């Protein structure tokens, strides 16, 4: 049987409204009932989380709120101590003083309790069979939203208290892989509890300060808030008379300035899911320019594989996708490239503004000069997935001289610009050609009108420049991030990351060179290294060292110490690869990582399988 504490007192708030409070002792539920001229018109049931949210954490439990309200109701109402009915009985405003300090200072605390909205009007309830996904109780949704917001801010704040990554238990995998359809809905509070149990604890970890694997960005708290706004607006951002189009165009203008492109309508662009799609768009525009002529693709052995996938999707035969060797700096070899270009065909020539493996930057100026010799047949494309946005830094900008001369640039904003996934960009120097590649006559259901939301004149349609008609609004999270933090600060963090990579190299070479080895020059923010304790490079030693380092990398990840990713140098040496594009990383993280790395490596070295490695 349910028991509750209530003295059955109905407290008069004013001439029209009164309130009754019931506190259930068995489940700690607090019920507040509002009466208008003696008739109950509103009621709300609160749990501990809801009380904490409503009171802005002044009361952590329903019992505390029950005691606070009872105390206030027993006092004579004053301007700074009262419970008031507002919004025609839809809400209560609670006001009371707080005294503190040796001088007994006084501050006024206030909060609101919003009742669920329902109607006793029979005419309004005649169509009960008409359904919506909007909640019947917006107050409950508001409370859940506040809890989720508080939890997510704590999730970011407390990131260092969690391991970088943790494996998913078998039972959690099984629970998430259940195939039973959710035919009947359940409480969003219960759904959120499932998220807290099965999803939030097991991310890949890229928001953690010691996640340096692959090239995965961290996002930011502001970006997360922007995503909530974006999802709430839920606008389809293909074009037309709406704010999202103007925000995206402003962002593209900023990005043109950063990349050194002409900031006018002769150059075009769009926000896309990432560099993979941006590469497909760039290559498609180049093919359109060459109008049916044979186009060959030239790229270096260090270029990202999305380039090959784009070429294959666009029907370019394998023999026309030509890999060029790199020089000692792991840059595309300009001499070999120049000698390899087929004068009887057109060419899509790719330069990397930071390769995915080692972060090396191609001679972009040299590539631009080469392509300028025959601009009618040579297209200069820059893969800037990693490094292009580093032009935000005045110090790093000189590393990318020549990028501003490209015909097209594909780059990511969700990596080093710290925008939440997913968001990339494509910029095309030839705007009319770009539009001609993708624009189609508008179908009857997309017909442009003389006004309204899809006017024939004066508005812009990104669907004429991309693969997609259905596009979410990627622009707000970029706009809000750049407006909040500013280009200067973001550029300074990029410089900090580059300095941290070089600091890590210095730690190895100055203090740990007898056990750790840097395997490639560090020109940006990527360090390839391995555990290494001998100088005998015979084949047996190399195979065992590779095996040891593979084992070491996995243990580092599985123990939650850090995430670094695998790479192979010169087709034979297994490397651990650290890519620092992390605004949360500190130098102390690098020290701690080396300490734990060596601790585990020395343990592995004692295993029988590695004891035969020659010193």
What the block records as the tokens of 438 is 């993708």
Determine the Cα angle at 298 with ends 295 and 303, to 5°. 135
| pLDDT digits 0-9 by tens, 562-612 | 999 999 999 999 999 999 999 999 999 999 999 999 999 999 999 988 877
Q: Under a CB-based contact definition with an 8 Å cutoff, are residues 493 and 525 in contact?
A: no
Rounded to 5 degrees, what are φ and ψ at 235?
Answer: -85, 145
> How confident is residue 2, by pLDDT bands cut at 50, 70 and 90?
very low
Query: How far apart are the C-alpha atoms of 466 and 239, rounded to whole Å?
Result: 11
Query: How far apart are the C-alpha atoms of 384 and 361, rounded to whole Å?
Result: 10
pLDDT of res. 124: 47
Q: Under a CB-based contact definition with an 8 Å cutoff, are residues 54 and 113 in contact?
A: yes
For domain 146-176+202-219+488-614, the CATH class is alpha beta
CATH architecture of 235-485: 3-Layer(aba) Sandwich (3.40)
pLDDT of res. 129: 65
Query: How far apart are the C-alpha atoms of 73 and 478, rounded to whole Å?
Result: 49
> How confident is residue 121, by pLDDT bands cut at 50, 70 and 90?
very low
Q: Which residue has the higher pLDDT, 275 or 451?
A: 275
Q: Answer whether residue 128 shows pLDDT above 90.
A: no
Q: Under a CB-based contact definition with an 8 Å cutoff, are residues 269 and 480 in contact?
A: no
| pLDDT digits 0-9 by tens, 140-154 | 888 899 999 999 999
pLDDT of res. 69: 92
List the domain boundaries for the chain. 9-114, 146-176+202-219+488-614, 235-485
Q: Whose CA is closest to 139, among 87, 215, 208?
A: 87
What are the beta bridge partners of residue 47? Answer: none
DSSP 355: -
Q: Answer whether residue 80 shows pLDDT above 90.
A: no
Terminal CA-CA length for the chain: 77
pTM above 0.85, yes or no: no
What the block records as the tokens of 265 is 């309508």
Q: Whose CA is closest to 323, among 306, 308, 345, 309?
A: 308
**Which of these ranges, 83-97, 347-361, 417-431, has the smallest mean pLDDT?**
83-97
pLDDT of res. 1: 36
> How confident is residue 123, by pLDDT bands cut at 50, 70 and 90?
very low
pLDDT of res. 164: 97
> How confident is residue 122, by pLDDT bands cut at 50, 70 and 90?
very low
**Which of these ranges, 41-50, 303-312, 322-331, 343-352, has the smallest mean pLDDT?**
41-50
Q: C-alpha distances in angstroms, 248 versus 269, 451, 583?
A: 10, 22, 25
pLDDT of res. 534: 64
pLDDT of res. 248: 97
Where do we find the tokens 């493996």? 357
> How confident is residue 224, by pLDDT bands cut at 50, 70 and 90?
very high
Using a CB cutoff of 8 Å and minimum separation of 24, what contacts does 185-193 make? 188/141, 188/144, 189/144, 192/144, 192/147, 192/148
- For the chain, the average pLDDT equals 92
């Amino acid at each position: 049987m349910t028991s509750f504490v209530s003295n059955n007192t109905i407290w008069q708030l004013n001439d029209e409204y009164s309130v009754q409070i019931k506190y259930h002792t068995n489940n700690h539920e607090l019920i507040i009932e509002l009466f208008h001229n003696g008739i109950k018109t509103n009621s709300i049931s609160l749990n501990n989380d809801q009380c904490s949210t409503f009171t802005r954490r002044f009361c952590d439990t329903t019992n505390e709120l029950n005691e606070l309200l009872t105390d206030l109701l027993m006092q004579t109402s004053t301007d700074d101590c009262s419970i008031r009915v507002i919004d025609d009985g839809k809400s209560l405003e609670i006001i009371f003083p707080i005294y503190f300090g040796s001088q007994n200072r006084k501050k006024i605390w206030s909060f609101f309790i919003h009742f669920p909205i329902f109607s006793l009007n029979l005419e309004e309830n005649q169509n009960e069979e008409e359904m919506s996904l909007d909640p019947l109780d917006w107050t409950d949704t508001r409370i859940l939203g506040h809890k989720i917001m508080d939890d997510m801010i704590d999730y970011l704040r407390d990131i260092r208290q969690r391991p970088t990554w943790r494996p998913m238990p078998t039972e959690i995998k099984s629970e998430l892989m259940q195939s039973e359809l959710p035919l009947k809905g359940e409480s969003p509070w219960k759904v959120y509890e499932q998220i807290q149990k099965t999803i939030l604890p097991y991310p890949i970890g890229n928001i953690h300060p010691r996640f340096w694997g692959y090239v995965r960005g961290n996002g930011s708290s502001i970006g997360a808030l922007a995503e909530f706004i974006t999802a709430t607006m839920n606008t389809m951002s293909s074009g037309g008379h709406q704010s999202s189009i103007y925000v995206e165009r402003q962002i593209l203008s900023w990005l043109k300035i950063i990349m050194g492109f002409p900031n006018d309508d002769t150059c075009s662009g769009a926000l896309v899911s990432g560099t993979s799609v941006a590469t497909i768009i760039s290559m498609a525009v180049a093919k359109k320019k060459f109008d049916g002529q044979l186009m060959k693709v030239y790229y270096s052995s260090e270029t990202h594989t999305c380039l090959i996938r784009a070429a294959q999707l666009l029907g370019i035969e394998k023999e026309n996708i030509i890999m060029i060797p790199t020089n000692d700096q792991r840059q595309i070899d300009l001499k070999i490239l120049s000698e390899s270009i087929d004068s009887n065909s057109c060419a899509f020539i790719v330069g990397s503004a930071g390769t995915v493996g080692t972060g090396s930057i191609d001679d972009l100026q040299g590539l631009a000069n080469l392509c300028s010799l025959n601009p009618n047949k040579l297209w200069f494309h820059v893969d800037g997935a990693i490094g292009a946005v580093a032009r935000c830094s005045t110090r790093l900008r000189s590393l990318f001289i020549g990028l501003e001369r490209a015909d097209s640039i594909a780059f990511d904003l969700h990596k080093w610009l710290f925008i939440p996934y997913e968001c990339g960009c494509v910029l095309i120097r030839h705007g009319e050609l770009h539009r001609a590649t993708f624009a189609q006559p508008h179908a009857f259901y997309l017909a442009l009108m003389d006004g309204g939301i899809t006017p024939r004149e004066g508005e812009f349609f990104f669907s004429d420049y991309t693969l997609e008609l259905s596009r979410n609004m990627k622009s707000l999270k970029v706009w809000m991030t750049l407006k909040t933090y500013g280009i200067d600060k973001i550029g300074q963090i990029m410089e900090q990351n580059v300095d941290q990579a070089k600091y890590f190299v210095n730690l190895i070479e100055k203090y740990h060179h007898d056990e750790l080895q840097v395997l490639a020059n560090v020109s940006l923010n990527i360090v390839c290294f391995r555990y290494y304790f001998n100088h005998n490079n015979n084949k047996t030693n190399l195979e065992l060292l590779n095996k040891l380092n593979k084992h070491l990398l996995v243990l580092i990840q599985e123990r939650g110490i850090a995430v670094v990713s695998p790479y192979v140098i010169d087709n034979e040496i297994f490397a651990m690869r650290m890519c620092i594009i992390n605004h949360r990383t500190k130098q102390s993280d690098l020290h701690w990582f080396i300490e734990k790395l060596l601790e585990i490596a020395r343990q592995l070295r004692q295993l029988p399988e590695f004891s035969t490695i020659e010193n």
